[in-house]
Amino acid sequence: MPQLPDYERPPVKEVICGVTFKTLKGLLAPHLGILWDRFKPDYAQCDQKPPLAPVMERFDGPQRVEVKLSDLPPLPRVWFIHQNENGIIQIQQDRFIHNWRKVREADEYPRYETVFAMFQAYLAEFISVLDEEAIGEVEPLQYEMTYVNEMSVGEGWTTLADVGRLFPDLSWRSEGRAFLPQPEGLNCQLVFALPERNGRLHATVRKAKRREGGTDVLLLELTARGIGEYGSVENLDSWFGIAHEWIVRGFADLCSEAVQQTIWGRKR
């Protein structure tokens, strides 16, 4: 395969790397304090959210949300937030996630190698604490990688009638329509199988509002989920390499070549 597409100004808003594993029943609230002490030099802020229910990719039946019943109260999903607010470590009893996000206009996407290295390093730190405190082992059930790309008005589109200029596969037919006006909302999802049942790639295009200022944006979210033959933490980098390639090549396939070159500065 040729080299992956590369861009001078990629529209990446957020990158999420995560692993879902067998529930660590021994991971209790006091252990979260130990973890924060370990991460606190860089991730000095703390918050908590409701735990996420895992969405598991299946090839022997429909994709489904796993609902777990327990006599114990659910441990919250804890956020450790980097002092520059670009990084978030999320931990719950069956999941470890690391986010890189663009917070300020001047923030530059540090590229996949840097983001994935951060995920690996903090996951290793998490596993180290589990071992030191005899909490249990991370037994992966599924990996997940998401790229959120944000396209502002003027980046290949002005109204939703222009969606085909940015995403040729989603063209809106303006001429010859007798009744419907231009759409005011958009939410479209495409799903693709990764090779050798390693998972699926979910591509979602939707209209949203930017938090800062409330201006309209289009979001292209590309999420790869699965595990395939890579069920060990030691070789998760192989699965993420596949996921990253499919996300990058999928982005290039779905987006207009002209916009890639003129707006985002595609180099190859």
Amino acid identity of 156? G
92 falls within a domain: yes
Residue 82 pLDDT > 80, yes or no? yes
Residue 188 pLDDT > 90, yes or no? yes
Residue 136 pLDDT > 70, yes or no? yes
The radius of gyration of the chain's CA atoms, rounded to the nearest angstrom, is 20
23 falls within a domain: yes
212 falls within a domain: yes
The answer to whether 141 and 96 are in contact (CB under 8 A) is: no
Q: What is the mean pLDDT of residues 78-103?
A: 97
The neighbouring-strand residues paired with 220 are 149, 205
Note down the domain range covering 216: 12-262
115 falls within a domain: yes
Task: Give the up-direction half-sphere exposure of residue 40: CA atoms within 13 A in the CB hemisphere.
Answer: 8
**Could you tell me the pTM of the whole model?**
0.94
The answer to whether 202 and 225 are in contact (CB under 8 A) is: yes
The neighbouring-strand residues paired with 189 are 204
pLDDT of the residue at 73: 66
Residue 131 pLDDT > 60, yes or no? yes
248 falls within a domain: yes
Measured distance CA(220)–CA(74) in Å, rounded = 32
Per-residue HEC secondary structure of the chain comes to CCCCCCECCCCEEEEEEEEEECCCCCCCHHHHHHHHHHHCCCCCEEEEECCCCCEECCCCCCCEECCCCCCCCCCCEEEEECCCCCEEEEEECCEEEEEEECCCCCCCCCCHHHHHHHHHHHHHHHHHHHHHCCCCCCCEEEEEEEEEEEEECCCCCCCHHHHHHHCHHHCCCCCCCCCCCCCCCCEEEEEEECHHHCCEEEEEEEEEECCCCCCEEEEEEEEEEECCCCCCHHHHHHHHHHHHHHHHHHHHHHCCHHHHHHCCCECC
2 falls within a domain: no
pLDDT band at residue 68 using 50, 70 and 90 as cut-offs:
low
Residue 214 pLDDT > 90, yes or no? no
Task: Give the up-direction half-sphere exposure of residue 105: CA atoms within 13 A in the CB hemisphere.
Answer: 5
CA terminus-to-terminus distance, the chain: 13
- Domain count of the fold of the chain: 1
Residue-wise pLDDT tens digits, 10-65: 999 999 999 999 999 999 999 999 999 999 999 999 999 999 998 999 988 766 55
Residue 213 pLDDT > 90, yes or no? no
140 falls within a domain: yes
pLDDT of the residue at 65: 57
Burial (CB count within 10 angstroms: exposed 0-12, middle 13-18, buried 19+), residue 178? exposed
146 falls within a domain: yes
Residue 69 pLDDT > 50, yes or no? no
pLDDT band at residue 265 using 50, 70 and 90 as cut-offs:
very high
